[in-house]
A and B are shown apart, each in its own frame.
Chain A
Amino acid sequence: MSTWKTVCALVDIPVLGSRVVRSAEGDIAVFRNAEDEVFAVHDKCPHKGGPLSQGIVHGKSVTCPLHSWKIGLDTGEAQAPDVGCAKRYDCKVESGVVMLKVA
């Protein structure tokens, strides 16, 4: 069963940056965009497994550091013409604390 778990304070994630969260389901990348929205996806690019957490964040996307696939942070889906999907997780900010829904 997935439950909401505390990850870190919002300020611990750089704006347009990310942190890696180690979980029972593997590494999860938690992103923060310019609007202070947070997103969480499996830290593996659907292309060749690149660590998405290390990519450049822009708008609601991240560009994978290995081969520049663009992954939508709210869907986990690769931007066309590339096809693929990284698993996404529910993620939210409550009074400045980032919460992640994981098993």
Chain B
Amino acid sequence: MEKLRLVMIGNGMAGCRTLEELLKHAPDLYDITVFGAEPHPNYNRIMLSPVLAGEMGVRDIILNPLEWYAEHNISLHLGKKIEKIDRINRRVIASDGTAAKYDRLLLATGSSPFILPVPGNDLPGVIGYRDIADTDMMIEAARLHKHAVVIGAGLLGLEAANGLLLRGMDVTVVHIAGWIMERQLDQASADMLMASLEQKGIRFKLNAQTAELVQGESGRVCALRLKDGETLPADIVVMAAGIRPNAELARDAGIHTNRGVVVNDTMQTYDPRVYAIGECAEHRGVAYGLVAPLFEQAKVCANHLAMNGIGRYSGSVTSTKLKVTGIDVFSAGEFMGGDGTEEIVLHDPSGGVYKKLVLKENKLVGAVMYGDTADGGWYFQLLKDRQNVAEMRDSLMFGEMAHASRIGDAGHQGNNKAALMADSAEVCGCNGVCKGTIVKAIKEQGLFTLDEVKKHTKAASSCGSCTGLVEQILASTLGGAYQHANPSDKAVCGCTDHPHGEVRKAIREQHLLSVSAVMEAMNWKTPNGCATCRPAINYYLISTWPHEAVDDPQSRYINERHHANIQKDGTYSVVPRMLGGITTPDELRAIADVADKYQVPTVKVTGGQRIDLLGVKKEDLPKMWEDLSRAGMVSGHAYGKSIRTVKTCVGAEHCRFGTQKSMSMGVKLETMLFGMYAPHKVKLAVSGCPRNCAEAGIKDVGVIGVDSGYEIYVAGNGGIKTEVAEFLVKVSTDEEVMEYSAAFLQLYREEGLYLERTCHYVARVGLDYVKKIILDDAERRKELYERMLYSLQGFEDPWLQAVKDPEIRKRYEILSV
């Protein structure tokens, strides 16, 4: 079959991103032809300012080298500007006569600098600031001339001014408004920014309108005259007074345009064969000029081109960061406030710090920061998530660290200090990745997302505790181009575009019962998923349809497949269950006997009050289990995304301070929860009095006995992110402890995203939500409790199963040749 022909006009970031996404979905669907007006392959346009400032070279900012086009069989026409779209014959014609036929056309023509309609605007030395050629011209001008004037004090104008200043020019910025960057900053922050730029040596003319550009004797521009008559010497004039989408080509072809080329939510123009994307497109009345929204558009457009037919683009909230070394400015959302908004402001003019947060109905709707922008990413996330901030209002201004101050540094590693960290500072403690390595990878490999950084550097790819820090490094390196991913909207993995919630919903609503049925119903892009999505789907299946869904051992992580914990050398560890940490001489004898018989190299007492037998060979596992089961011992599930242990203190049974029988309470809980799989591991503890020797304050469910009953705490965590459990409820009987604990855990099992601990789950949905369901709605609590009991009913010890069933036992045997 003939392939479809896809022609792309424009060879910039939005367009190439679309192609990259498309090639991932459907590598063989199209013959692709690309026309680029510039003589360069796709480069990172937002990094032109560092190039102008002399901090990077052109070669450093190439995103897709020529080999990339060749590798994917893309016919690339560089330096050829398309003059005409012939929609009747479905072809495009370039200035040199080259023509190409298309079945699908992608317009990615970008935008052009707005050139002020003033006399002299066509003189040599008057330029816009858009591409490598403009940048080269500025660098060249800086070498030969002295005076530069930049028109427009927006993001681009200021970066141009800074670059020219660093190249040794004498720079004046002419701006029409009353303060600089008025589309991103309020006056207070703008004044501080202007003061520090003035200190660097840039001069400003505010409330100033350009009347004309004056030609000098050499023929090139020599001065700029303002409306009030003042004349500024100018050997080069940079127009940075806004951009205009390049929509003429579409307009001339009879495609509906407004400011930009009008597109729908799948990025199609009024001619459905023709797509438009990036700065040339206008979506729901907005033409974006920042990179991050363009990437979202690229994803949707590629999906549609690949005929996956899913995914809609519904607009973006954007944030801005100025890339001038040594000056930090951040702005997002409705930073000017307005009706019904409140402002929280911190203003320290001599300290050089200004922060303004705009709130509306207890939600953050805008933020402006100057001087200290470390929390920009965090505020932006709060803003996009429309999270209720009423509870953290008193500490909101002081940033994420203050909000999370009770957590301390461990596992956070100074979350907010990304920008200040030295390049040699270690970011990812698991994989030994330093900040410098991450920054270098982001710049050189052109990375934009957390997933890409994980893949290329391994940072944040193990325990994930440095994820926040890596995101901050991304944000501070990329500036406005970075967009936080919201975990609940994030696709499960590269095999699908569906987020976790949708997978779960489909399983419930369509009564799907196997991994392959889910993949088929949800149009998985890979034949049988990957090591990320299969375990997640399998968990959602068995938790949604207990006793019905097929539990697929090949979609289980190794530990859960083999019911033992794999170690670095490929041997396993075996941990028998020891309810509440209580054992008997007979059990200890049985453990000692298997340790002897199978020559277990290490026997260790675990943190969960049990005994760990380490260094067991895989083929010995069933034999060892057989011996242990004979002594009445079963799997302790010390290896799974499942119930682990219920740790207990001695309690009222023996302790002179004990108020409740914590050991028997712990035994009851652990017995009830035997075999409970969950989105992640689950640990409980029961203490017999408020001295809390069982450390219930850092458990997923912590029970503390008091004289009149028990206090139940939830969502604590002693691991990656030390998190103190939050008080849920006080109850008086053992039965109530069981019911409330089980109801909470069942809620987490039904709503938690795979690999999300209870502390992350509760942080995401809010404790109030959990309380509303577990405490205020007795009926729902009982239903949850019953669903938990139902799903655990008849659970059989996996060790005994492996011992009894020859088919399972076979999996542990080694073959020989």
Taking Cβ atoms with an 8 Å cutoff, the residues of A that contact B are 5-8, 12, 14-17, 19-23, 27, 30, 33-34, 48-51, 54-59, 61, 63, 65-68, 70, 81, 100, 102
In the complex, A22 Cα to B817 Cα: how many Å? 7
Beyond the given A22-B814, A65-B558, please list 16 additional residue pairs across the A-B interface where CB-CB is below 8 A.
A12-B810, A15-B554, A16-B528, A17-B811, A21-B815, A56-B530, A56-B535, A56-B554, A56-B555, A56-B558, A58-B528, A58-B531, A68-B461, A68-B531, A81-B456, A100-B817
Given contacts A56-B555, A100-B817, contact A63 B528 (CB under 8 A): no
Complex partner residue of B528 from A5, A12, A34, CB under 8 angstroms: A34
B residues within 8 A CB of A50? 570
Chain A residue at minimal CB-CB distance from B559: A65
Identify the interface centre among B535, B553, B554: most chain A CB within 10 Å of its CB. B554
Q: Tell me whether A59 and B534 are in contact (CB under 8 A).
A: no
Q: Tell me whether B562 and A54 are in contact (CB under 8 A).
A: yes
Identify the interface centre among A33, A56, A81: most chain B CB within 10 Å of its CB. A56
Some 6 contacts from A to B, beta carbons below 8 A apart, are A8-B815, A20-B618, A23-B816, A49-B570, A56-B534, A57-B554
Is B568 part of the binding interface, using a Cβ–Cβ cutoff of 8 Å? yes
Q: Closest Cβ of chain A: how far from B64's Cβ, in Å?
A: 16
Chain A residue at minimal CB-CB distance from B495: A58
Q: Tell me whether A14 and B554 are in contact (CB under 8 A).
A: yes
Identify the interface centre among A19, A20, A23, A30: most chain B CB within 10 Å of its CB. A20
Identify the interface centre among A6, A15, A58, A65: most chain B CB within 10 Å of its CB. A58
Q: Tell me whether A66 and B568 are in contact (CB under 8 A).
A: yes
Is B187 part of the binding interface, using a Cβ–Cβ cutoff of 8 Å? no
In the complex, A65 Cα to B55 Cα: how many Å? 42
Chain B residue at minimal CB-CB distance from A100: B817
Contact with A along B517-556 (1 / 0, CB 8 A): 0000000001111110011000000000000000001110
Complex partner residue of B817 from A5, A14, A15, A17, CB under 8 angstroms: A5
Is B455 part of the binding interface, using a Cβ–Cβ cutoff of 8 Å? yes
Q: Closest Cβ of chain B: how far from A83's Cβ, in Å?
A: 12
Q: Closest Cβ of chain A: how far from B401's Cβ, in Å?
A: 31
Q: Tell me whether A21 and B558 are in contact (CB under 8 A).
A: no
Chain B residue at minimal CB-CB distance from A99: B817
Q: Tell me whether B527 and A34 are in contact (CB under 8 A).
A: yes
Tally of contact residues, B, Cβ under 8 A: 30
In the complex, A50 Cα to B572 Cα: how many Å? 12
A residues within 8 A CB of B814? 19-22, 27
Is B762 part of the binding interface, using a Cβ–Cβ cutoff of 8 Å? no
Q: Tell me whether A55 and B531 are in contact (CB under 8 A).
A: yes
Is B566 part of the binding interface, using a Cβ–Cβ cutoff of 8 Å? yes
Identify the interface centre among A30, A33, A48, A54: most chain B CB within 10 Å of its CB. A54
Q: Tell me whether A22 and B816 are in contact (CB under 8 A).
A: yes
Chain A residue at minimal CB-CB distance from B533: A58
Q: Tell me whether B526 and A7 are in contact (CB under 8 A).
A: no
Q: Closest Cβ of chain A: how far from B614's Cβ, in Å?
A: 16
Q: Tell me whether A63 and B531 are in contact (CB under 8 A).
A: yes
In the complex, A55 Cα to B530 Cα: how many Å? 11
In the complex, A30 Cα to B817 Cα: how many Å? 12
B residues within 8 A CB of A102? 817
Given contacts A48-B568, A49-B570, contact A56 B557 (CB under 8 A): yes
Contact with A along B323-342 (1 / 0, CB 8 A): 00000000000000000000
Closest 10 CB pairs of A and B: A63-B531, A65-B558, A56-B531, A51-B570, A16-B554, A5-B817, A22-B816, A21-B815, A54-B558, A58-B530
In the complex, A21 Cα to B813 Cα: how many Å? 9
Given contacts A22-B814, A102-B817, contact A67 B528 (CB under 8 A): no
Is B462 part of the binding interface, using a Cβ–Cβ cutoff of 8 Å? yes
Q: Closest Cβ of chain A: how far from B573's Cβ, in Å?
A: 14
Q: Tell me whether B554 and A21 are in contact (CB under 8 A).
A: no
In the complex, A22 Cα to B815 Cα: how many Å? 6
In the complex, A34 Cα to B527 Cα: how many Å? 8
Q: Closest Cβ of chain B: how far from A53's Cβ, in Å?
A: 9
Q: Tell me whether A7 and B527 are in contact (CB under 8 A).
A: no
A residues within 8 A CB of B568? 48, 66
Chain B residue at minimal CB-CB distance from A81: B456
In the complex, A65 Cα to B557 Cα: how many Å? 8
In the complex, A70 Cα to B566 Cα: how many Å? 18
Contact with A along B209-224 (1 / 0, CB 8 A): 0000000000000000
Chain A residue at minimal CB-CB distance from B530: A58
A residues within 8 A CB of B570? 49-51, 54
In the complex, A50 Cα to B570 Cα: how many Å? 6
Identify the interface centre among B528, B618, B810: most chain A CB within 10 Å of its CB. B528
Q: Tell me whether B815 and A7 are in contact (CB under 8 A).
A: yes
Q: Tell me whether A63 and B530 are in contact (CB under 8 A).
A: yes
In the complex, A79 Cα to B570 Cα: how many Å? 21
Q: Tell me whether A21 and B816 are in contact (CB under 8 A).
A: yes
Identify the interface centre among B526, B555, B568, B817: most chain A CB within 10 Å of its CB. B817
Q: Closest Cβ of chain A: how far from B553's Cβ, in Å?
A: 7
Chain A residue at minimal CB-CB distance from B452: A81
Q: Tell me whether A58 and B815 are in contact (CB under 8 A).
A: no
Q: Closest Cβ of chain A: how far from B102's Cβ, in Å?
A: 31
B residues within 8 A CB of A27? 814
Q: Which B759-817 residues have C-beta < 8 A from chain A?
A: 810-811, 814-817
Q: Closest Cβ of chain B: how far from A101's Cβ, in Å?
A: 10
Q: Closest Cβ of chain B: how far from A94's Cβ, in Å?
A: 15
A residues within 8 A CB of B618? 20, 54
A residues within 8 A CB of B534? 56, 58
Given contacts A65-B557, A66-B568, contact A23 B817 (CB under 8 A): yes
In the complex, A27 Cα to B571 Cα: how many Å? 14
Complex partner residue of A17 from B530, B554, B569, CB under 8 angstroms: B554
